[in-house]
Amino acid sequence: MRIKIHYAWVIVFVTFLTLLAVQGVRLSFGAFVQPWEEEFSMDRGTISLISTLSFIIYGLSQPIIGKLVDKWGARIILSLSTFLVGISIFLTSFVTQPWQLFFLYGILVSLGVGGASNVAATVIVTNWFNEKRGLALGLMEAGFGAGQMLLVPGSLLLIHWFNWEVTVIILGLFLTLIILPVMLLFLRNNPQEKGLLPIGGNSKVEYRGEQKNMGEDISIWKIFRQKEFWFLILPFGICGFTTTGLMDTHLIPYSHDHGFSTNVTSAAVSVLAGFNIVGILLSGIVADRWSSKKMLFYLYVMRALSFCILLYSHNPTLLLIFAILFGLVDFATVAPTQLLATQYFKDYSVGFILGWLFLSHQIGSSLGAYLPGLVYSHVGSYNISFYFSILVLITASILSGLLPETYKKMKAQATDEIDV
C-alpha cells in the first residue's frame, strides 16, 4: 500500500539541512581559534572579538531579517543568505591580515548566518503546520545539533589532516554547490504554492489574527510594556550567553587547555551534538503535550548543573558526562521559547517578534564569546566565566517560572474548536 507524505515534511527536511550546513559552519568557529592564533599572532581575547563581532552583526540583523521575510518570503532570504555564507567562508582561505578575517567572517559570514537562521526557518515551518508544530520546529531545530555533530568535529579533523585554509574551501563549496541547489529546487514559502493546505488545515483562529495584522502597524513600545516579552527575552539572552557564546566558542580551547587530545575533544563535541539532537527532538514533542514555561524552568536548571560538572572535568569520563547532559538541554530551549512567543504575541508578525527574540539571543552570544576570552587573557582560566554562567542560568529558570501559563488555555481552545 502506497503511503503519501505531505510536502510539509519535505519543507522540514530542507530547513533542517539548511540549518545543519549554515549554522554548522558558524558553530565550527571554535575549531579555528588556535590555528588563527598561530597564523595571525593574535591572543585569545582578540580571536574572541571576531566571534563577538559576528554575534553582534548576527543579532542586529534578526529584526531586519524578520521584516524582510514578511516582505519577500523566507525562501529568497534563506537562499541568498546561504550563498553569502558559502562565498564568504570560501574567501577566508585567501586572508593574509587579521582585519580581512574580521571583515569576511565577522561581518559577511555573520550577515549570511543571520539570514539563514531560526527566524526565516521558523516562519516557513509555521506556514506549513497548524498541527504538530512543536514536533516540526523541533525537527527543524535539530539541524543545529546535526551541524554541530558533523561539521565541528569534521572541521577539527580536516584542520588536523590538512590545514585551516583547505577546511574553509571545503565548507564553502559544500554550501554553494550542494546545499543551495537543494534549497532552490524544493523549498516553498507556503502550501498554496503547491496547491496544498498546511498540516492540520487552515486555522480559523490564526487566520483572523493574520488578517488583523495586515491593517495594523506593529508597535514595539506596546510589546515592550508586556512582561511576557521580557520574561522570554532575558532568559533567551542568557541562553545565548551560555551556549553559542561561551560553549561553542570556548569549549574546544578549554578542552585543549586541560590536556585533552584532539580525538577526545572531537568525541566530546560529537557526543554533545548527538544528545543535542535528542534533546531538540524531545523538546519539540514535549512542547506539544506539556507546559512550555515549566520546560524552560527545568532546562535552565539542568544546564546550570552541567556547568558544575564541567568545572571538575579533569578526565575524559567527566567531560563526556558533561557533553551528554549539556547536549540534552543545549538547543532544547528554542522550541518551547518559539512556541510561547507565537502564543503570547499571536496578534503580531511572527517574523518581527522572532527577530527581536533572536536579537537578544545573539547579544547574549556576543557577550558569552568575548567576555570569557577577555577574562582568560587576564587570569588564564575560564572558571570565573563558568561560575557566572551558573548564576545567570538560575536567574533564567526563575524568570521562566514566572511566565503566564498557556498550555491549559491552548488545550481548552482546541477542545472548543473540535466541539464546534
Whether pLDDT at 418 is above 70? no
Cell of 355: 527577530
Most confident of 104-113, 118-127, 173-182, 362-371: 173-182
Residue 414: which pLDDT band, with cuts at 50, 70 and 90? very low
Whether pLDDT at 56 is above 60? yes
pLDDT at 416: 47
The total number of residues shown for the chain amounts to: 420
84-106 average pLDDT score: 91
d(CA 174, CA 186): 17
* One-letter identity of residue 68: L
pLDDT at 139: 86
Domains of the chain: 10-191+221-412 (1.20.1250.20)
Whether pLDDT at 158 is above 70? yes
Residue 220: which pLDDT band, with cuts at 50, 70 and 90? low
Residue 70: which pLDDT band, with cuts at 50, 70 and 90? confident
pLDDT at 108: 93
CA 385, 386, 391 angle in degrees (round to 5)?
Answer: 95
Whether pLDDT at 31 is above 90? no
- The percent of residues above 70 in pLDDT, for the chain, comes to 90
Cell of 282: 524531545
Residue 94: which pLDDT band, with cuts at 50, 70 and 90? very high
76-93 average pLDDT score: 94
Most confident of 3-17, 28-42, 50-64, 124-138: 3-17
Contacts of 50 (CB under 8 A, 6+ apart): 36, 101, 102, 105, 106
Most confident of 82-91, 123-132, 239-248: 82-91
Range with the lowest mean pLDDT among 25-34, 207-216, 284-293, 367-376?
Answer: 207-216
d(CA 118, CA 275): 20
Among 147, 131, 183, 200, smallest CA distance to 11 is for 183
324-349 average pLDDT score: 84
pLDDT at 212: 43
d(CA 270, CA 143): 14
pLDDT at 215: 37
d(CA 143, CA 124): 15
pLDDT at 417: 44
Q: Side-chain half-sphere of 190: how many Cα atoms within 13 Å?
A: 11
Whether pLDDT at 88 is above 60? yes
Residue 2: which pLDDT band, with cuts at 50, 70 and 90? low
